[in-house]
Amino acid sequence: MSTVPVPDLPETQRAWRVVKRGKPSESLVFQTDVAIPPLSPGEVLVKVQAAALNPVGWKVMSTAPDILARRPITPEHDFAGVVVDANGTEFSAGDEVIGFIPVPLQLKTGQGALTEFTKLPATHLVLKPSNVSAIEACGLPLAGETAFQALVGNGKLQAGQSVFVNGGSSAVGMNAIYIAKALGAKVVTSASSRNEEICRSAGADEFVDYTKKPLHEHFVENPPSPKFDIIFDAVALVDPALYKYSNAYMKPKGVFISTGPWPNLKSWGGSSGVSKLLSLGCEILRPSFLGGVDAKWAMVGVSHEPQDLAKLRDLVAEGKLKVVVDSVYGFEDVLGAYERIMTSRATGKVVVKVDGNL
**What are the residues binding ligand NAP (CB under 6 A)?**
54-56, 142-143, 146, 166-167, 169-173, 190-192, 195, 210, 234-236, 259-260, 262, 300-302, 341, 344-347
Among residues 256, 260, 252, the alpha carbon closest in space to that of 230 is found at: 256
Convert 243-305 into a string of H (helix), E (strand) and C (coil). HHCHHHCEEEEEEEEECCCCCCCCCCCCCCCHHHHHHHHHHHHCCHHHCCCCCEEEECCCCCC
35: left (phi over 0), alpha (psi -120 to 50) or beta: beta
Shortest Å distance, C-beta 213 to ligand NAP:
12
Quote the least distance from Cβ 106 to ligand NAP, whole Å: 14
Please answer whether residues 103 and 96 qualify as being in contact, where contact means their C-beta atoms are separated by less than 8 angstroms.
no
Give the nearest distance from C-beta 345 to ligand NAP in angstroms. Answer: 4
Q: Among residues 62 and 87, whose Cβ is nearest to ligand NAP?
A: 62
* Cβ-Cβ contacts under 8 Å for 92 (sequence gap 6 or more): 3, 83, 86
In the bound state with ligand NAP, the residue whose beta carbon lies nearer, of 214 and 330, is 214
Whole-number minimum distance, CB 196 to ligand NAP, in Å? 9
Nearer to ligand NAP, 30 or 207 (CB): 207
If the CB atoms of residues 30 and 262 are measured against ligand NAP, the closer one turns out to be: 262
Length, in residues, of the chain: 358
Query: Cα 275 to the chain's mean position, in Å?
Result: 26
Q: Which is nearer to ligand NAP, 116 or 233 (CB)?
A: 233
How far is the C-alpha of 141 from the C-alpha of 121, rounded, in Å? 15
Q: For residue 26, which phi and psi values (nearest 5 degrees)?
A: -100, -25
At 46, the amino acid letter reads V
User: Which of residues 120 and 257 has its CB atom nearest to ligand NAP in the complex?
Assistant: 257
